[in-house]
Amino acid sequence: MSSAESNGALVTGEAVVALDGAQRIMGGNQAARQLLGDKLEPGEVFSLVGLLQGPDLAEAQSALEAALGKGRAAQNLRAMARDASGQEFSCEYSINPLFGPGRQVTGAVLNLRDLDFTPLSSGRLDPGESLPNMPRLGYQSLFENLAEGIFTINTRWRITSFNQRAEELTGYRREEVLGRHCWDIFRSDLCGSGCPLRTTLETGVTRMDQDVRMLDKRGGRLGVLVNTSVVRDRTGSVVGAVESFRPLDGLEQPASNESHSFEEIVGSSEPMRKLFAMLPDVAASEASVLISGESGTGKELFARAIHAQSPRSKGPFVAVNCSALAETLLESELFGHEKAAFTGAVRSKVGRFELAKGGTLFLDEIGELKPELQVKLLRVLEQRVFERVGGTRLIPMDARIIAATNRNLPRAMASGGFREDLFYRLRTVPLTIPPLRKRPEDIPLLVSHFIKVMNQRYQKQVRSVDTKVMRLFTNYPWPGNVRELERVMEHAYVFVKGPVILPAYLPSLGEFWRERLGAAEPETEDAAPADGQESERQAILEALSQAGGRRQDAADLLGISRTSLWRRMKSLGLG
């Protein structure tokens, strides 16, 4: 790593010029041709005059003569240079000798890198303008003192700079991250799919204010707004990308100190207790896991919990929905592709198997995988290597596989829709998530959990649900499982005004609701809710009725203090 990288400076493209022993030009790359213009004709004697001036020119000429005459290399020299258009820029260059048979010097190679992005010089000012007489503030000072975290990557996804604010937000020191892949550091919820930095680097499109959840060094969750843009050198070539990020207010969460934490999975029923007892052992292993369960039961939550408690927890969690991607794209998404592998493949692309290196690959809806891809997946699981589409290089597969399905795979095997050998390869450890209708005792816990989450999301102070609502919840079959319960609670939060969720705030769930509510049938989704104060009055009166007029008992039913109940009764004219 160069000194520029180690100092966290932005690294741009490098111009390379090869010279023979007589200082004649043997060749140069595209960056050198665009930078030097007509000074780079093969066979012509190369001259540093015009490119460098004054003491910088003398130092460079001395270094070139030492390389050609004595075989002595000169590394990481700094100078002010002038490009073919006459613009000045700061650069870093090296001159290395070329050796032939018998260690004889046959030539030299000049490597030159532009260190400025937008150098400010008088040559860039309009006629009549002048620079103010003030101390020059270098790029590095600006970069370090910005209020946002900023880092840059090169085209190989390696971090090349990391400012002080980024260190503060992530907990990582600069020397810990330079040269590492960005996904190894940030571990965001979009690293595997939908990464704004990837979109920018592959398409050149700037992304603004992308909401991302990432992990800091301690494992704490951090919500950030992300902006991304490509980085180009002065020749116009894309040499990397830059990302700035700032925390969302209230979304910095401390790391948990629990050694085993499945707090996002709620339940105390017997089926759930059995699953919780299994999870630590399953997480500690490297075995493939097949999670079965109806839609909405929380299969991905279990997969994430296994990953979070596994030895691979510091690696990425990459999720792929096998039913959400077109068949023609799925193979490329899984394995990646090489440039020109098919029409539209204008550059090489890393697949999910590579992105999940050192972590976990979650294959959701695995039952929807087409037979030809089932064969390829089986081969990868057996041989632990794969190839990109259109490629010939074998890439090691270093990811744990967790698959999930809501289909009856044994029945699919019987009908020929799913390979038996793949099924047994995936289900080394089978987990079955019970539907919500088979664990109704978990519904009050889930309701309390959603109340805590949605109070923060909607900035409300709901304490509980009405007893009639809870009876409905515990008797309803919940065909959409936990996901449906969450949507029902969210619908109620749109309209609730007081501390209690009443039946009037629930969406219409068909005949089941109407049969059990009778005259108190809930409003339809398009109907306006009752007045907030009247709803609160009804809740208090019902609580007092159930408590036999005892205010303390009524307050307990409502989940508020006796003083708060008295204050609300007085404001509603009930005192």
SS (H, E, C) 50-90: CCECHHHHHHHHHHHHHHHHHCCCEEEEEEEEECCCCCEEE
pLDDT digits (tens, 9 = 90+) for 413-428: 999 889 999 999 999 9
Which residues span the domain enclosing 171? Answer: 139-252
Do 515 and 384 fall within a single domain? Answer: no
Indicate if the pLDDT at residue 129 is higher than 50.
no
> By the 8 A CB rule, do 24 and 177 touch?
no
Do 358 and 402 fall within a single domain? Answer: yes
Q: What is the pLDDT of residue 27?
A: 84
Do 427 and 465 fall within a single domain? Answer: no
Do 420 and 484 fall within a single domain? Answer: no
pLDDT digits (tens, 9 = 90+) for 335-392: 888 887 777 776 778 888 888 889 999 999 999 888 888 998 899 899 889 888 888 8
Give the end of a domain, one of 120, 151, 175. 120
Do 191 and 70 fall within a single domain? Answer: no
- Comparing 357-371, 423-437, 449-463, 534-548, the range with the smallest average pLDDT is 534-548
> By the 8 A CB rule, do 74 and 63 touch?
yes
Average pLDDT, the chain: 78
DSSP helix/strand/coil, 524? coil
Do 360 and 384 fall within a single domain? Answer: yes
Do 482 and 382 fall within a single domain? Answer: no
Do 219 and 364 fall within a single domain? Answer: no
Q: How far is CA 66 from the centre of its chain?
A: 49
Indicate if the pLDDT at residue 303 is higher than 90.
yes
Do 461 and 480 fall within a single domain? Answer: yes
CA-wise closest residue to 192 among 364, 396, 344, 372: 364
Confirm whether 264 is domain-assigned: no
Q: How far apart are CA 355 and CA 3, in angstroms?
A: 29
Confirm whether 208 is domain-assigned: yes
pLDDT digits (tens, 9 = 90+) for 7-65: 333 334 578 888 888 898 888 887 787 777 766 778 888 888 888 878 889 999 999 99
DSSP helix/strand/coil, 562? helix
Indicate if the pLDDT at residue 520 is higher than 50.
no
Indicate if the pLDDT at residue 122 is higher than 70.
no
- Residue that the structure tokens 């698959």 belong to: 403
Do 210 and 340 fall within a single domain? Answer: no
